[in-house]
């Protein structure tokens, strides 16, 4: 009997965590859409990483703040809205990961990331944004980006 109650309590906590995480992610996206710099970055950990759609966009939190600040200061950052989202929570309830399909100014994008619970609050620790490319268009996209990609690969191999 105790095991059944314990299992139900854990399942209930996971569902509450998933709802809270979904609300946090929605608030984070809304904060960018309304150019609320503090609200946006207060939902991230102090050691967060943001990976954007360009190969050069692998930012530690302070670098990302420096990149984002001028956009937020103009009153217009980016505006993402989740149209689909999956959230997963580890057994200990202190880490979660997710993936989401986003409606953005770039049309459909995919976001994925990790949240960490700090002092009882969920914070975004890692976020990856990527463009969604239909399989039937991949060959065209490769042709568009191959020259730049080849240069980047060559530079990275030299390091």
Q: How far apart are CA 14 and CA 121, in angstroms?
A: 14
- Strand 44-51 and strand 121-131: pairing? parallel
Within 10 angstroms of residue 90's Cβ, the number of other Cβ atoms is 11
What pLDDT is recorded for position 14? 81
The sheet with strand 44-51 has its strands ordered as 58-60, 44-51, 121-131, 107-118, 95-104, 81-89
- Strand 107-118 and strand 95-104: pairing? antiparallel
What pLDDT is recorded for position 3? 56
What residue spans define the domains of the chain?
2-158
Q: Is the alpha carbon torsion for 98, 33, 83, 129 positive or negative?
A: negative
Helix (H, G, I), strand (E, B) or coil at 41: helix
Domain 2-158 has CATH 3.10.450.50: yes
> What is the chain's pLDDT, residue by residue, as a tens digit (159 residues)?
555 554 555 567 789 999 999 999 999 999 999 999 999 999 999 999 999 999 999 999 999 999 999 999 999 899 999 999 999 999 899 999 999 999 999 999 999 999 999 999 999 999 999 999 999 999 999 999 999 999 999 999 998
The whole model's pTM is what?
A: 0.90
What pLDDT is recorded for position 6? 47
């Amino acid at each position: 009997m105790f095991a059944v109650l314990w299992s139900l309590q854990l399942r209930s906590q996971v569902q509450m965590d998933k709802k809270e995480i979904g609300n946090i992610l929605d608030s984070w996206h809304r904060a960018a859409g309304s150019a609320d710099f503090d609200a946006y970055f207060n939902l991230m950990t102090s050691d967060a990483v943001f990976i954007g759609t360009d190969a050069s966009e692998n930012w530690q939190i302070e670098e990302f703040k420096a990149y984002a600040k001028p956009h937020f200061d103009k009153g217009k950052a980016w505006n993402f809205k989740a149209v689909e989202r999956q959230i997963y929570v580890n057994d200990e309830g202190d880490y979660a990961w997710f993936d989401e399909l986003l409606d953005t100014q770039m049309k459909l994008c995919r976001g994925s990331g990790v949240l960490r619970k700090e002092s009882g609050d969920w914070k975004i620790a890692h976020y990856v944004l990527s463009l969604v490319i239909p399989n039937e268009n991949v060959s065209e996209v490769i042709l568009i980006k191959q020259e730049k990609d080849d240069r980047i690969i060559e530079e990275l191999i030299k390091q």
